[in-house]
A and B are shown apart, each in its own frame.
Chain A
Amino acid sequence: MSETNVIRRLEAAGLPPQLSRFGEWADRHFKWVLVAPAVLLILALSIYPLVYSLVVSFINFDFQVPGHAFVGFKNFERVIADPVARWSLVLTAFLSFSSVAIEFILGFAVAMTMMRSFPGRGLIMSILIVPLFISPVIVGQTFTLLLQRPFGPTNYVLSALLGNEVTISWLTESPYIYFSLILADVWQWTPFMFVILLAGLTAIPPNLYEAAELDGVGPWQVFWSITVPHLGPMILLAITFRLLDAIRLFDTIFIMTGGGPGTSTYTASYYLYTIGFTQFHLSQATAGSWLFLIFTALVVVFLVRRLLKAETN
């Protein structure tokens, strides 16, 4: 029903006489009154801070240097020139792409095994989604408990399985440290892929499979010619959503490695956090976060928008 239509019908029915002046005003601007609280909150605590940080990034706002002079692009140049900043960006890309790739493959495989009903399926479903409801800090803490020497059982179990002594410092030794971080991420977020892909898989009309079976089509061909094309938009959506969250990686870094050893596990978020909140180079941090924001905004504007249009229409 169009808006004018609603008004016409309201007038035809006669607005109830007990409406106060405020009530009348609110009824006339009803649709804007409804969006006002949410929009005002987002403006105050998200848009205003973004503008604020843009201003800060062009001036000198550094607890170690007095004054607030306009410095142009100097803060941006400083971030771009910082080798740690560039390393953190590379590491963020590496960690998020590897985690998401593994989560996708594993999640897809598990979703395929859960397509048909079998006894205990409901219980297994409930178990598999549990990691989604756990704080990433606790996931980091959990894997610290599992991996840290000498407390964690990992090296003992590996030694027993492989037959010779394993003494790996999973949380302080490169490259194992990256493996540990990816492992924690995979544990927590594979269910995300699994749940979305399973919903996609079960939405494929079963008669397509029945027809393929009658025609004697092999399982691989069924997979490539029925499953994958039907699942396409869902796969894109799951990967995009997951990637946009994965590039924020901070909590597990904070708990498991503290960015160390040295700066070897600095992700973009962790780098900006240390610059801003432990070294108090506020301007440099805001400049860096704007660069990071532009980077993610491009993905959101081009990919997410198109995805949701496709899904909602």
Chain B
Amino acid sequence: MKDWFRKGSPWIWLSGGAVTISMVMVVGLVAMIAVKGLSHFWPKPVVEFNYQTAEQSEPVRVIGEISRSETTTAAAMREAGFNVPEDQDVVVRHLVKRGNRDVTGQDFVWYMESFMSDPRYPEEILVLERLQWGDFYGYLQGFLIDGEVVAVGAEARTAFERTLRDTAKGVRELNGIERGEIGDVNFRMEQLRRQERALELNENISDQERAEARQSIAQRRAELDEQYAVLAERRNELRAELSRYAITMETMEGQVRTLPFNTLVHGWRPNEMNIFQKMGHYARSFWDFISGYPREANTEGGILPAIYGTVLMVLLMSIVVTPFGVLAAIYLREYAKQGPITQLIRISVNNLAGVPSIVFGVFGLGFFVYFLGGSIDEMFYRETLPSPTFGSPALIWASLTLALLTLPVVIVSTEEGLSRIPRSIRDGSLALGATKAETLWRTVVPLAAPAMMTGLILAVARAAGEVAPLMLVGVVKMAPSLPLDGNYPFLHLDRAFMHLGFHIFDVGFQSPNVEAGRPLVYATAMVLVFLIVVLNLAAMVIRNRLREKYRMESD
């Protein structure tokens, strides 16, 4: 033993353990996000049990999904105000998602295992996803048309399923009208208002021209009003049609609730589903999550606007950062005189990658938003002042700020790629009579292209995950309209946007119902991690290929 210690073997094992711990944490983190994020869409069994604490004379029926369980000490529970029997030291408790927020007010409640009866899994339990108030759990009782019960029991079930399928189309159309078409009309109205205001401010036109312009605006406004009226009528029609149908449901307390169809999204019976049905449900829920709009303060629904905003912002950033970063790197490596100053610049650029991102955010807010944006408003958008157009956090400023933030990444990576190109290739090109520019553009740059690609991918990965600077320069928790849509000028650089990272922060920390939002946060985190890991792996693969290639060529 002593000998073993003297040889230093324990320390080798200890340092090996350090690697193991790091790896376990890394893998554990990814696995946890993946499991928690992916399992959210799997239809969990709904459990029904009777709950009777010491004080209660009658057991209470509870219906819900077990969200998570934990083991704590009885003392801590007593401290928190729960009545735990004296003989218990350790308490197992389950967090049950009971849904029905509009009925009970509390959709997540802890239950202690020792007071729970054996769980039952009745196949008849129906789970409803609703537009408001979260999920609903209960037993289907009757099917109503215009307030009249037309079917009960098994008939109600078939009628419910059929009607849900039929109304799905109507719900989609209604959503389309409310979100898209009416929004478009409003946007055009707003533009007209701006033109009108600009007309008033413009002193260089004659009264007659002004009157004519006014008239054309009034005419267009009348057209828009008409369009709006048509849309509103169709909307009301659809709403009326949808609200004709309703179902009655029995809750866990035995209350009967009427739920009209225009509030329902999906309905399923998790305890009855077989594995394939569950998989189908899973795929549909996942697709809804990826392609849907958020509801209920972002704690329900999908994350499409966040994905859309992230991707668009990153794309714009790439368009800016690639040429500038690559040119700066070419300048530094190929044209600048190599000496202490170049070396200094190189180190500084490298170090900028380590400067906290929030500093870039502060710079972006002060310089881009307030200074540049303010000046643009002053010059081109006088008619909307004092409400800012470009002088407030916006997509373009976020992209520019992140472009600045990721410039060092691209520069460093490109430079590295350029420095890896064997000297012989350059010399060969020059010896054949090519000028320096020709050598660069025709041999060196194409060879270094994968390195630039790597830099760009790394930049994208970094930009997609940054949140702190974006909180200052352009991200909002709920953007009313997408930054790219069918209204002229299509790409609205002045709009604030939603972002996956900020979505996580917002739902996890600023939402009124953290417990309800938690699964969605995990799912969003999973999407983001997946995106970033894939991007980084791609960068790594490209880099390794590149290395191999030059190793062979320089041999």
Q: Do chains A and B interact in one complex?
A: no
A interface, CB within 8 angstroms of B: none
B interface, CB within 8 angstroms of A: none
